[in-house]
Structure 1
Amino acid sequence: INLQSDGKTCTPGMSRFLIFARRTDIRMVSLDIPYYADVVLAVNSSMKNTIAIGVDPKEGKVYWSDSTLKKISRSNINGTAHQDIVSTGLMTTDGLGVDAVGRKVYWTDTGTNRIEVANLDGSMRKVLIWQNLDSPRAIALYHEMGYMYWTDWGEHAKLERSAMDGTGRAVLINNNLGWPNGLAIDMAGSQLLWADAHTERIEVSDLNGQNRRTLVTPVQHPYGLTLLGSHIYWTDWQSRSILRADKNTGANSITVRASLPGLMDIQAVDRERPLGFNKCGRNNGGCTHLCLPRPNGTSCACPTGILLKGDGRSCDDSPETYLLFSNRVSVRRISLDTNDHTDVHVPVPELHNVISLDYDSVDGNLYYTDVTLDVIRRANLDGTGMETVISQGLKTTDGLAVDWVSRNMYWTDTGRNTIEVARLDGTSRKVLVNNSLDEPRAIAVFPSKGFLFWTDWGHIAKIERSHLDGSDRKVLINTDLGWPNGLTLDYDTRRIFWVDAHLDRIESSDLNGKLRQVLVSPVSHPFALTQSKPVSSPLTPFSRLSQQDRWIYWTDWQTKSIQRVDKHTGRNKETVLANVEGLMDIIVVSPHRQTGTNLCGVNNGGCTHLCFAKTNSFVCACPDEPDGRPCSTISGYIPTSPGKGANSTPVPKMIPKAPTDTSRRGPSLVNCTDGNLNSEFCLNTVVTAPHGEGLHISYVIGGVLTILAILILIAAFIIYRHKKSKFAEPGVSNLTYSNPSYRTSTQEVKIEASQKPPIYNQLRYKKEGGVDAGYTKEKIRIVEGVCLLSSEDLYWDDLKQIKHSRGGLHTCIRTDTVSLQTSSASLDDGETEQLLQEEASECSSITTLTPSAITPQRHAQHSLPDTGWASLRKPSTESEV
């Protein structure tokens, strides 16, 4: 900072300076004074692996990305007012560009292979480029020209350009490139400059990629590149220094600062330089959401997944048709309205282990189960209004289905082996099925037909159907089934679709389990599936389906992806989204999906509590536990003299005239309250039995007890046989884990090839930690535990981590064969010691091995471990970390 002309006071801050990221901190070097000294930006926030950096000179804010925390953050240049502006959907944000004129932030993500944009506060986020990207890195913006430039150091390295709205994409240079890292624009000289760490050169061309020439060579391992005035500045991993050279000749190279390990991106800032004219400055360019510059003007855009309306200026609030899926710790959305299938996080709070989802199109609520908290909750899709509707009596709620007509929800509990129902607010809870269930999983409703369907992947796998009240239960399919997981219904063609994770296929049948067909085979390990509903009209016959309406979608544990296929032909298999850990349930939300009606759709059918529709009738039912309100199973009948505090249910203006089962059943008895004690429907009143009836009752009770004893003996025998089969060989455990279990074990396993077991030893979720990382459909052997820690000067191949650490090269595994690779960050000695102490309690036996003791394969090339990034030097066939 300079002294002002009065000789007494100092300037408020630096006017011209360099600002650079050093992995765990951000530093600044003033260019206002004749010497170079770096000062640390005092941000009140921890930094784990800061890579890219940008500056907004107008507001005096610095922006940075952290690939370990997976965030983009900002603060004032003095370190105050720290704020995370993007905290979801990021992997490795290598490049960051601040459009100080247009008030936007752009970034590249080499983990998701996307280029995105958002407002400076992180709102209105949109994916601009998502195709044909390999490893995008640096990004540079030229607002006045409406262009953005970026480098890609993937297998086919290139330098590209597009308009700042993502249109007009073009490859400028794709020959004689190795690892193009840093990128800068010389606006005064109309030049483009880039640093290549493989060819060890800094090169320059015009803004169209022509007139290419070498500016500086050799340079050891350049990473970040910037320019200010007549000089270029760059960071070098190998020399651990910041260097400077003439931007026109490359001459007069000097070292600005040395001995700075962990150097990453660098930017040069002149706060006195005019920003230029904002193309979108007047009324946001007439756009309701995003206004983005391009060479011939501006364009309006919408956040990811939302279509621009016909006026070319405004956007809808959300997509019309989209996927919702869970991956244990988050719920995400993928729009089916756009070609871009980018997933967007739904901001629902307090998610721990989300398994099953469903959506109510009437109220716009998302319903979900959390098996760590053992609750069923609901929330709006904007994250507001979250409430717990079922909080007790749950163990493992695998399946969830909303009856949008009758306003009921159904769920399967594989821990209690029950199927239950309640009103959507959690009241009037009732058990519908609690016998002959082993591992009930997916559940689906057909409100207009009055049917309930579910899968059971237990010892005897089956798909069943009943009425919505649990009556008239029927096994539809129980042959040629392995692990039937997900289930979905096509309400138009009246077919059931399900996935089988043991037989590796997707099948369908009619609603009676007949006309069975294999749709797709093989599939790796499908878990949940859903489908879109075709839109038919006189102008659009059912046979002419739109592109988004012909697909069936499923989640796959083994490929960690969401895939789809034509649901009529089984062809055109595509990957919608890849590299997603912990995938669970998936549903389609569409205005055309939840349609139809039934006799419970008007005033709850006149029922006081639960109304269950059937094909041409309905029944009323009472909850298992009294709620203080008089309950009747007669439609339109409300018991007189309600108890204290009870609320009466109004009689519908028009009782459905369809024949109902209630007329045949007559009124059902209910538990007594003070208000209905004299009612003829009271269950707890004392009734004197006719003479001689007591002996008959004794016979009945004796018979029932005898049958129960026989059933207990049979169950004990089955359990014994099951356990015996699981531990048939000493030391071998058939943990062949299928449909998730919630075992708390975190043991790693050693895989042995064998055939898939014929029964029951299937994948389960863990209540702590999600899907078991050691997943296999085959027999596995648990062996002794070893804890490994890398040394600082080595890095290893094929790291197999069981527990995600804080970036260190450590793991706790149970196998006698080990191989390791580099991590995105290293640990200092204090963190290493602390980590060893933490892991000591998790391994059954701990052995700390030196690198020489395990002799993994090493790369011949040198590495730079203290930067947190490995530098792979020649040959060019190797990928840069």
Structure 2
Amino acid sequence: GGNKTRFLGVDNGLVGAAYTIAFDWIGRNLFIGNRLASNIEAIKVDGKVKYRTVVLVNDGNRTSVSKPKQIALDPTNGKIFWIDEGGYGVPTKVAMANMDGSNPMILEETVQFPEAITLDIEKRMVYYSSQHPPEVVSIDYDGNNKKTILTEQNGISKPRGLGVLESRLYFMDPVYEKIVRVDLPNGDNPKTIMDNEPDLKNMIIYKKRSMLQHPCMMNNGGCEHICIPYDNGARVCACGMGYKKDNEVSCNPYKTFAVVSQLDMTRGYSLKDASEAMVPITGAGHHILHVDILYRESWIYWVEYNRGHWNGIFRIRPNGTELQGIIKDGIGSNGIRGIAIDWVAGNMYFTNVFPHENYVEVSWLDGTHRKIIVKTTNDAPRELAVNPIKRLLYWIDYGQYPRIGKCYLDGSNWTPVVTSGISNPRDLTVDML
């Protein structure tokens, strides 16, 4: 139990939650099945930055991912296998693809209520189980030679936690509270290894993997981010979220993308193909109201309104590193309700709302040297937009008398601009061209 390491923290950038995992011991990647996001991701386990890439998603095809129940890997052949409970237009199935997500295919589509999956890599066989009807079935990598090994007549009810070792199949049955092994290929000579064991959840065989020469095992296969084993001993380089391929091995960050707040998370989308252009800002307790960017220094800024840990202004790199809380004190009970980054002078403007007063404040980009430039009880400024060329700060007030106003960057010359013809202004921006 020593040398315990937290691999992914609470704020790990995962949209949804990890449900099942499998480790690629050749490329040293952790594959994660996510039922909420309907995808399978690969995460590089080595290095300071845990690069992540989505290898399989629900793209509307029958071969895509919906609710992955369990995944299994054969890195020696560059294959990923998974059982899927189906939904969202995707059938319940046993499926296979290359580990980079290419060439997905359905091995078995008649399975109902799948429970577990494991592999016999040497013999290129897949073993999977189901609950209704209770059975354990084998099938080869091509989807042929299907054979039912165990059924309800063998005294099983909910076989799960499958594992293969030395021509024997191990499984556990939480209904009968036991762990059993049988001989392969026919399921002969059943032997109960453990009995009367309550709350059985999962099991995996701890064994030494056969090592072989592979490009991913030397200098990460030459890949800048992620080396994924491929068919016939080859490898494919993949780029982490927030990056796109420059060539076969190199990655470049996205230069332009949309940053979208979804209240409990923030994501970046490429304007060309809607792919993930930044590591999502996710985790428990988020209440993200506003976002802004500092392109020159690669910062994403956002405003949280929350009673807990997340309250104030935070920033992070698009690759998910260097998370910082830069404004966390002196915040009104109604929270910070607007933010604007002056990328020329290097200042950050924000509105700070108290029960009977409203502040417009300015600070340096890291939250230091904070100063109140406007304090008002008559107006209710919320969202902000800055024009550093003309040295103007614009604000909107959607209170009892909605309006749009402007002032100089030091807060002086506070002037309403639009006072009629608007009823519920919510945001604004400036076209400086």
**Could you tell me the TM-score, scaled by structure 1's length?**
0.42
| 2:317 is the counterpart of 1:405 | no
For the Cα contact (< 8 Å) 1:306–1:338, is it kept in 2? no
CA 121–237 in structure 1, closer or farther in 2 if over 3 Å, else same: farther
Q: Cα deviations across residues 303-352 of structure 1 (Å, max 9, x unaligned)?
A: 12310113x11112x3323444667787665555764338625699xx98
Give the Cα–Cα distance (whole angstroms) in 2 for the partners of residues 240 and 111 of structure 1: 30
Give the Cα–Cα distance (whole angstroms) in 1 for the partners of residues 39 and 277 of structure 2: 9
Percent identical pairs in the alignment equals 26
Letter in 2 for 1:471: N
For the Cα contact (< 8 Å) 1:376–1:391, is it kept in 2? no
For the Cα contact (< 8 Å) 1:305–1:338, is it kept in 2? no
Give the Cα–Cα distance (whole angstroms) in 1 for the partners of residues 429 and 133 of structure 2: 55
2:217 is paired with a residue whose SS is coil
Partner of 2:83: 151
Q: Cα deviations across residues 529-554 of structure 1 (Å, max 9, x unaligned)?
A: xxxxxxxxxxxxxxxxxxxxxxxxxx
For the Cα contact (< 8 Å) 1:101–1:277, is it kept in 2? no
Q: Cα deviations across residues 758-798 of structure 1 (Å, max 9, x unaligned)?
A: xxxxxxxxxxxxxxxxxxxxxxxxxxxxxxxxxxxxxxxxx
- Long gaps (5+) in structure 1: 1-78, 493-881
Partner of 2:379: 437
2:198 is paired with a residue whose SS is coil
Partner of 2:101: 166
| 2:153 is the counterpart of 1:216 | no
For the Cα contact (< 8 Å) 1:355–1:370, is it kept in 2? yes
Give the Cα–Cα distance (whole angstroms) in 2 for the partners of residues 352 and 112 of structure 1: 18
CA 423–124 in structure 1, closer or farther in 2 if over 3 Å, else same: closer
2:6 is paired with a residue whose SS is strand
Structure 1 residue aligned with 2:403, among 453, 462, 466? 462
| 2:199 is the counterpart of 1:199 | no
Give the Cα–Cα distance (whole angstroms) in 2 for the partners of residues 104 and 385 of structure 1: 24
| 2:236 is the counterpart of 1:299 | yes
1:139 is paired with a residue whose SS is strand
Pairs within 5 Å for 1:260-271:
260-271=197-208
* Bigger proportion of residues as helix: 1
CA 375–243 in structure 1, closer or farther in 2 if over 3 Å, else same: closer
> Could you tell me how far 1:467 is from its partner in structure 2?
4.8
> Could you tell me how far 1:441 is from its partner in structure 2?
2.0
Partner of 1:128: 55
Letter in 2 for 1:198: H
| 2:176 is the counterpart of 1:239 | yes
Q: Cα deviations across residues 162-215 of structure 1 (Å, max 9, x unaligned)?
A: 1111112222222x2111221112223322111011221111111111222212
CA 315–347 in structure 1, closer or farther in 2 if over 3 Å, else same: farther
For the Cα contact (< 8 Å) 1:137–1:152, is it kept in 2? yes
Give the Cα–Cα distance (whole angstroms) in 2 for the partners of residues 294 and 388 of structure 1: 43
| 2:217 is the counterpart of 1:281 | yes
CA 338–228 in structure 1, closer or farther in 2 if over 3 Å, else same: farther
CA 367–139 in structure 1, closer or farther in 2 if over 3 Å, else same: closer
Letter in 2 for 1:159: V
Structure 2 residue aligned with 1:114, among 24, 34, 39? 39
**Could you tell me the TM-score, scaled by structure 2's length?**
0.81
Letter in 1 for 2:80: M
CA 92–471 in structure 1, closer or farther in 2 if over 3 Å, else same: closer
Partner of 1:100: 25
Pairs within 5 Å for 1:565-584:
none
Pairs within 5 Å for 1:362-511:
362-369=296-303, 376=313, 383-384=321-322, 386=324, 388=326, 391-392=329-330, 394=332, 396-415=335-354, 416-424=357-365, 426-427=368-369, 429-432=371-374, 434=376, 436-438=378-380, 440-468=381-409, 469-471=411-413, 473-476=415-418, 478-479=420-421, 481-482=423-424, 484-492=425-433
2:279 is paired with a residue whose SS is strand
Letter in 2 for 1:202: V
| 2:120 is the counterpart of 1:179 | no
For the Cα contact (< 8 Å) 1:177–1:199, is it kept in 2? no
> Could you tell me how far 1:220 is from its partner in structure 2?
0.8
> Could you tell me how far 1:243 is from its partner in structure 2?
1.9
2:221 is paired with a residue whose SS is helix
Partner of 1:785: none
Give the Cα–Cα distance (whole angstroms) in 1 for the partners of residues 384 and 427 of structure 2: 8
| 2:3 is the counterpart of 1:81 | yes
Q: Cα deviations across residues 240-280 of structure 1 (Å, max 9, x unaligned)?
A: 22222222112223322122222222222333x63333342
For the Cα contact (< 8 Å) 1:418–1:437, is it kept in 2? no
Structure 2 residue aligned with 1:253, among 172, 190, 195? 190
CA 264–367 in structure 1, closer or farther in 2 if over 3 Å, else same: same
Letter in 2 for 1:284: N
How many pairs were matched up?
407
Letter in 2 for 1:409: M
For the Cα contact (< 8 Å) 2:162–2:170, is it kept in 1? yes
1:362 is paired with a residue whose SS is helix
Pairs within 5 Å for 1:753-768:
none
Q: Which has the higher contact order (CA 8 A, sep 6+)?
A: 2
For the Cα contact (< 8 Å) 2:259–2:269, is it kept in 1? yes
Give the Cα–Cα distance (whole angstroms) in 2 for the partners of residues 320 and 276 of structure 1: 39
Give the Cα–Cα distance (whole angstroms) in 2 for the partners of residues 164 and 140 of structure 1: 10
For the Cα contact (< 8 Å) 2:15–2:282, is it kept in 1? no
User: How well do the aligned residues superpose, as a CA RMSD in angstroms?
Assistant: 3.4
CA 364–265 in structure 1, closer or farther in 2 if over 3 Å, else same: same
1:270 is paired with a residue whose SS is coil
Give the Cα–Cα distance (whole angstroms) in 2 for the partners of residues 329 and 408 of structure 1: 27
For the Cα contact (< 8 Å) 2:39–2:66, is it kept in 1? no
For the Cα contact (< 8 Å) 1:100–1:275, is it kept in 2? no
Letter in 1 for 2:387: F
Give the Cα–Cα distance (whole angstroms) in 1 for the partners of residues 101 and 393 of structure 2: 47
CA 419–485 in structure 1, closer or farther in 2 if over 3 Å, else same: same
Letter in 1 for 2:426: N
CA 100–197 in structure 1, closer or farther in 2 if over 3 Å, else same: same
Letter in 2 for 1:224: G
> Could you tell me how far 1:81 is from its partner in structure 2?
0.9
Give the Cα–Cα distance (whole angstroms) in 2 for the partners of residues 253 and 405 of structure 1: 74
CA 125–366 in structure 1, closer or farther in 2 if over 3 Å, else same: closer
Give the Cα–Cα distance (whole angstroms) in 2 for the partners of residues 246 and 173 of structure 1: 23
1:268 is paired with a residue whose SS is coil
1:150 is paired with a residue whose SS is strand
Letter in 2 for 1:429: K
For the Cα contact (< 8 Å) 1:127–1:342, is it kept in 2? no
Pairs within 5 Å for 1:786-801:
none
Structure 2 residue aligned with 1:142, among 65, 71, 74? 74
CA 290–198 in structure 1, closer or farther in 2 if over 3 Å, else same: same
Give the Cα–Cα distance (whole angstroms) in 2 for the partners of residues 393 and 488 of structure 1: 24
* Bigger proportion of residues as strand: 2
> Could you tell me how far 1:429 is from its partner in structure 2?
2.6
> Could you tell me how far 1:394 is from its partner in structure 2?
5.0
Give the Cα–Cα distance (whole angstroms) in 2 for the partners of residues 92 and 384 of structure 1: 22
Q: Could you say which structure has the larger radius of gyration?
A: 1
Partner of 2:61: none
CA 278–112 in structure 1, closer or farther in 2 if over 3 Å, else same: same
For the Cα contact (< 8 Å) 2:33–2:70, is it kept in 1? yes
2:220 is paired with a residue whose SS is helix
Pairs within 5 Å for 1:20-39:
none
CA 242–117 in structure 1, closer or farther in 2 if over 3 Å, else same: same
> Could you tell me how far 1:410 is from its partner in structure 2?
2.1
